[in-house]
Structure 1
Amino acid sequence: MNNNIRVRYAPSPTGHPHVGNIRTALFNWLFARHEGGKFLVRIEDTDQARYVEGSVEAILGGLRWLGMDWDEGPEKGGDYGPYFQSQRLEKYQAAAEKLIAGGHAYRCYCSSERLEEMRAAQTAAKQPPGYDRHCRDKCEITPEGITPVVRFRVPLKGRTVFNDLIRGEVSFENALLDDFILLKSDGFPTYHLANIVDDHDMRISHVIRGEEWVSSAPRHVLLYQALGYEPPLYAHLPMILGTDRSKLSKRHGAVSIMDYEEQGYLPETMVNFLALLGWSLDDKTEIMDVKQIIDNFSIERISKTGAIFNVEKLDWMNGSYIRALTLDEFTDRARPFLEAGVPESRAFDRDYIKSALALVQERVKKLGEFRDQPEMTRFFFIENLEYEPIELLGKKMTAASTRTALERSLERLEKLGDFTVESMEADLRSLAEELELKPGQLFGSLRVAFTGLIVSPPLFQTMIVLGREQCLKRLREAVSKSWKLPE
């Protein structure tokens, strides 16, 4: 085990975790597990105005659903806690004072009104926005009624350079950086200060995060230098894009990881799919279990280019994982969704439910289909079907020929001694030939009679699950309805 490898997932509790955020967590977790290191969870809750009740539970629940266990953090503890930033304020304040004492930071007393006027003037002059360093070299005489913020004293010349494990050398002109805030007037740190102090204190070896943080990296490098800390290694992950190559957003579909759980995607599907958003084993392997991904995961295999979030591919992958489940596994996972869509199913025993689900496992892409499209399986669990008589009418058949076909089918099935797929199919195919019908014409009418649907699972297997008595009862009802067909 490489105890020197320590990575972290540091979400803000401002809502449910979205897929981009979780993808970042996954890559950190995979790297830690591949290297035999530690995966930490740290809650960055210093932005109290944006805090959303229940977010921490949703974040941890999302990790648990995906099987991403953490070594240190909430519910686990560890040697470098607390793991909530709101409980670490003294550490940030001490770091800010150290930076001030070393000449790397200063107190800024600019009022909000002055800052608004400054921004308006910059906008009017078509200048890039940024603090004008008004307080940078002034004597610190506290204006009445103003609690200062602490700003970092960015070098006015030179370049800040760091090596990105994915992108190579990255360089920024210091002159393009403004004197950013480290400590707000309420005593809470900004992200820039807090994450540096925490990553140092928690011995983080690698910071693996989204590419939107590349522009912040020079600030962080400068802070590490000013505090005298050894910086971690950086790896900025490619952005996740929609199929139109724009940044992933709600218009591309669900963006919260909990939405995908709610829709009935399997957690192993999501791990596989998210792992391929920016990383790959080769140019052909798509389906991989988590062990295979961990065994092969490396930062060197991460792409620089944006990763496309393709829902069609996700659905295909989820369908593949569903078909790979044993029938018992499929039944256990599908049953909560089935009972939500078809409450009547609760009255049936597990063996009956399992036999019904066996007929649809090959067709299902998401378990949520059982809840959102209950007609797919409801006919297995209700006593009386609801459909219009006209639906019984076979293709290119008249009311009379449809009625005759149903009546003769009832006669055949009532006399059939062996109620098996083979015997029913042979007998009814023979009947279709006698009636000078194509098998599809007869079977279409029978499908509606037994299920109330034009499209259903395989006809004869469905009849086996329903059982002889239920099939005969439904066929008698269909014959009765056929007399209402217009001649």
Structure 2
Amino acid sequence: MGKRKEERIHVTSNSGRPSRGRFAPTPSGRMHLGNASTALLAWLQLRAAGGAMVLRMEDLDRARCKPAYAELLIEEMRWLGLDWDEGPDIGGACGPYTQSERDERYREAIARLRGDGWLYSCYCSRAELLQMANAPHGLASEGAPVRCGCRELSPEERERRERIKAPSLHFAMPERDIGFRDGIAGERSFRSAGDFAVVRADGVVGYQLAVVVDDLAMGITDVLRGWDLLDSTPRQLALFEALGATAPRYAHGPLWLGDDGSRLSKRHGSVSLSELRAESVKAEEIVGLIAWATGLIPKPEAAKPAELIPVWSPEKVAQEAIRLPGDWMERLR
């Protein structure tokens, strides 16, 4: 059997453009230390480069996302000492900056992709796709890593299935490996990530498409986000390519875990910024904790974000997940 072809995505054409980055949280809960870490690292990357920062609310899942959480997130980012040049609260030339207000742009991209032959109707249920993937996590969370067969259905069979179930629209991933250089994780290569939904059966636009359309429309050149989104990158690179656009440079910061190795939650103590503020923890103490835990400074000393710009270096940022010790609250003092 021959070797798989690898496609290495180059984004060097971004180098001549002014740097533009973004922090794009989902306002479905209170901001916690992991969110704050990503926001701080993304902010430092852009401010160190003299670039512009965009704040965007990714609220496509209307059932989970609440305006009150979006307002609190803005308040707590400002409390940390972070600012931005464009966003839902201050506007800007690329608005609106809330995804639920950008549906028309997504539909235009969907029409283009469909016209160019990148999309097909899928009649499988989510359970069926997960069963094919045999891995209900990671990339499989938005589609099976193998094609389900719906793309090859006859017109008669497609019509029959459509009478039974409303289809989702899937993007047909190129049959090749995709490689890229991550600003923190280094050289990465992924096998074909599998087809995925760009429109769910209920009509909701998929995360991968919305992110790419927004980053393109907002002129984003640099994306620093959480490590859990690293394996979304090949799908987004493929979408940029299908739309004939240059992809941003990507970097992925470390995940935050409790001392038991699981995702941060209430069982690990006060991990939301709201709780920490209620316990009179200062913003500078949290910023210093994040800078220490991610590898930017040697010990957790209180600092303002602007004071960390001179020490910013992506080479310093940890690639391993951050496991907070049981006495981490004491280290804030």
Normalising by structure 2, we get a TM-score of 0.84
CA displacement 1:80-133 (0-9 Å, x = unmatched) = 11101111111111111211222222122x164xx545655876xxxx882642
Of Structure 1 and Structure 2, the greater helix share is in: 1
Any residues of structure 2 matched to 1:165-204 within 5 Å, and which? 165-174=183-192, 177-204=193-220
CA contact (8 A) 2:284 2:304 kept: yes
2:150 maps to which residue? 135
- Residue type of the partner of 1:260? L
Whole-angstrom distance in 1 between the partners of 2:218 and 2:132: 42
Q: Between Structure 1 and Structure 2, which shows a larger proportion of strand residues?
A: 2
Q: One-letter code of the match for 2:273?
A: I
Equivalent pair of 2:286/2:302 in contact (CA under 8 Å): no
Give CA-to-partner distance per residue, 1:3-34, whole Å, 9 cap, x none: 71111111112111121112111111122222
Name structure 2 gaps, 5 residues minimum. Answer: 1-15, 135-139
Contact 1:41–1:70 (8 Å) recurs in 2: yes
Letter in 1 for 2:266: K
Contact 1:93/1:187 (<8 A) preserved: no
**CA shift for structure 1 position 296:** 1.8
Aligned counterparts, 1:346-357, within 5 A: none
Q: 1:286 to 1:67 in 2, by over 3 A?
A: closer
Question: Where in structure 2 are the equivalents of 1:298-377 lying within 5 Å?
Answer: 298-310=313-325, 312-318=327-333
Per-residue CA deviations over 1:374-405 (Å, capped at 9, x if unaligned) read xxxxxxxxxxxxxxxxxxxxxxxxxxxxxxxx
Question: Following the alignment from structure 1 to structure 2, what is the Cα–Cα distance between the partners of residues 184 and 164?
Answer: 29
1:88 to 97, 102, 106: 102
Percent identity between matched residues is 36
Taking the aligned partners of 1:207 and 1:86, their CA distance within structure 2 comes to 21
Unaligned runs of 5+ in 1: 319-487
Larger Rg: 1
Aligned partners of 1:160 and 1:273: how far apart in 2? 35
Distance 2:153 2:131 in 1: 23
For residues 238 and 316 of structure 1, the distance between their equivalents in structure 2, rounded to whole angstroms, comes to 20
Tell me which residue corresponds to 1:79: 93
For residue 15 of structure 1, the aligned residue among 24, 29, 36 is 29
Superposed, 1:452-471 pairs within 5 Å as none
Call closer, same or farther: CA 1:67–1:286 in 2, change over 3 Å: closer
Is the 1:149–1:183 Cα contact (8 Å) retained in structure 2?
A: yes
Deviations 1:142-198 (A, max 9, x none): 423643321010123x21111111121101111xx3211011234321111000110
Q: TM-score normalized by structure 1?
A: 0.58
More deviation in 290-299 or 75-84? 290-299
Specify the code of the residue in structure 1 equivalent to 2:190: F
Change in CA separation of 1:311 and 1:265 when aligned onto 2, cut-off 3 Å: farther
CA spacing shift, 1:102–1:85, aligned 2, 3 Å: same
The residue aligned with 2:82 is 68
1:34, 1:296 within 8 Å by CA — same for their partners in 2?
no
* Contact 1:184–1:190 under 8 Å retained in 2: yes
Question: May I ask how many residue pairs the two structures share in their alignment?
Answer: 306
Structure 1 position 237 matched with structure 2 position 253: yes
- Tell me the distance in 1 between the aligned counterparts of 2:22 and 2:43: 8
Please report the RMSD computed on the Cα atoms of aligned residues, expressed in angstroms.
2.5
Counting only pairs closer than 5 Å after superposition, residues 375-386 of structure 1 correspond to structure 2 as none
Contact 2:254 2:320 in 1 (8 A): yes
**2:22·2:42 contact (CA, 8 Å) conserved in 1?**
yes
